[in-house]
Structure 1
Amino acid sequence: MRIAAISDIHGNLWALEAVLADIERRGVDMTVNLGDILSSPLQPRETAERLMPMDLPTISGNHERQVLEDDPARLSVEDKYAFDHITDEQRDWIRALPKTLRIADDVLLVHGTPGSDVRYFMETVTQEGRRAATHEEVLERAGDVQASLIMCGHTHIPRAFRLDDGRLIVNPGSVGWPAFDDTHPFYHKAENNTPHARYGIFERTPFGWAIEHHAVAYDWNGASEFAARNNNAEWAYLLRTGRMPR
């Protein structure tokens, strides 16, 4: 089994098209989508139009929940833009997405962790900043979920962690949002330091799951210029650089 995993597209249709073309060129048995699909000052409606007919195995992320459930007056810039631009049919589509999904007996899709769409799986945030999680922290977040491969998104940083019991957790990185900052639970940044669109391919072998992290070039200047035209200088900068403005 050879699985391509895309995650955290965030309405970046330029990046998505480049990633889908790269996946087709490499050949896989299945492509899965790990959530946070539309929210951005880019092309949420057009991104949904591209994905819905593909009918990929897809789960929701925290941004899908926020767009559907939070008070529109309190939404972030990214979520409010998606809320204002997607259609009722697209709302119904994201409303029907499961929070987690098994695509085989031992392969599980989650957005954050099995129990939360906002908790980081392989990273920990303290008052000192963001760091790689310890084995004990990742083990606690995995809980008693039985799977040889757990795919997650949310942090936008490609990363993998193999627990001592053999379970493999892998984050393919973000297709469309290469850097962000957050204040929960303390202020921190996540930066890939290049603007490439990221995804992963995971293949079952006789020795366990093989991991391929891919960084795809695309027209990030075009995406950046689109964000600038939508009066979002922060997104214009991070799409072009893979870093947050200083």
Structure 2
Amino acid sequence: MKIAVIADIHGNDLALEAVLADIASHGIDDVVNLGDHLSGPLNAARTADILMARDFPSIRGNHDRWLITKEPADMGRWDRAAHDELQPHHLDWLRTLPPTLVHRQELFLCHGTPQDDLIYWLEDLTPEGVVHMSARRRIEGFAAGIEQPVILCGHTHIPRAVHLADGRLIVNPGSVGCPGYDDDEPVFHKVETGSPDAAYAILSKADGRWDVTFRRVAYDHRAMSRLAHERGNKEWTSALASGWLGD
């Protein structure tokens, strides 16, 4: 059994198409999607059209939630850019997505943690805003009560796999469409993957054991960087060009 895991597309339709082509090249037709589908200064509407046509098992992320709960005037820059492109049927689709989901009885899907789509699960921050791997006790604590052997999360855009003491596997597949960002909450920090490639993961099960392979897929990231530049977003311009935010 093989299942592809995608997350944090953020309206990057070219990255999504490249990832879907790579998934197809591996003969995989089972795909799950961990949210934050559309927000960003790119091609939100076309990304929504692709995802709606594919109808993957999907959950909503924090940005998806904000797109359907906030007034446009109250939205952050990423969400407002996407909202201005989207049609009512795109927002109706986002409203159908649950915050968590169980797939094939063995995979538990969430965006941040099972309890909160804004919390980093496998990473944490120092008071100075340095991103680092979270403590084992903290990671284990968020997994309490989940029965499935594989737990999937997104949100931080950082590919990572962690084996829990009881044998369960937690996987963040990385971000399809946004290789770097900064955030002011809970303290200012940067997340930079150092690569402009699209990222996703492939889960495979053999002899009762689940394993994960992380994939990076090249695509025309410079075209998306130029689009972000045209739309006046310096952060996205740099991240899409290189995987770094610059100074």
2:195 is the alignment partner of 1:162 = no
Aligned to 2:195: 194
Give the drift of 1:70: 2.0
1:126–1:185 Cα contact (<8 Å) kept: no
TM-score for both structures, normalised by structure 1: 0.97
Task: Map Cα deviations across residues 60-118 of structure 1 (whole Å, 9 max, x no partner).
Answer: 00001111112322311110011111000000000110111111222111111111111
Separation in structure 1 between the aligned mates of residue 27 and residue 116 of structure 2, nearest angstrom: 32
Separation in structure 2 between the aligned mates of residue 205 and residue 155 of structure 1, nearest angstrom: 29
SS of equivalent to 1:85: coil
Give the drift of 1:245: 2.3
Give the drift of 1:29: 4.3
Report 1:58-137 matches (<5 A). 58-128=58-128, 129-137=130-138
Separation in structure 1 between the aligned mates of residue 136 and residue 27 of structure 2, nearest angstrom: 33
Shifted more, 94-103 versus 231-240: the winner is: 231-240
Aligned to 1:41: 41
Task: Map Cα deviations across residues 122-174 of structure 1 (whole Å, 9 max, x no partner).
Answer: 01113032210111010111121111001111000000111001111000000
Runs of 4+ in structure 1 over 3 Å off: none
1:8–1:36 Cα contact (<8 Å) kept: yes
Separation in structure 1 between the aligned mates of residue 161 and residue 131 of structure 2, nearest angstrom: 16
Aligned to 1:148: 149
When the two chains are superposed, the root-mean-square deviation of aligned CA atoms in Å is: 1.0
SS of equivalent to 1:17: helix
Matching residue's letter, 2:18: A
Aligned to 1:218: 219
**What is the number of equivalent residue pairs in this alignment?**
246
Structure 2 gaps of 5+ residues are none
Separation in structure 2 between the aligned mates of residue 89 and residue 72 of structure 1, nearest angstrom: 17
Structure 1 gaps of 5+ residues are none
Separation in structure 1 between the aligned mates of residue 76 and residue 2 of structure 2, nearest angstrom: 36
TM-score for both structures, normalised by structure 2: 0.97
Separation in structure 2 between the aligned mates of residue 70 and residue 244 of structure 1, nearest angstrom: 27
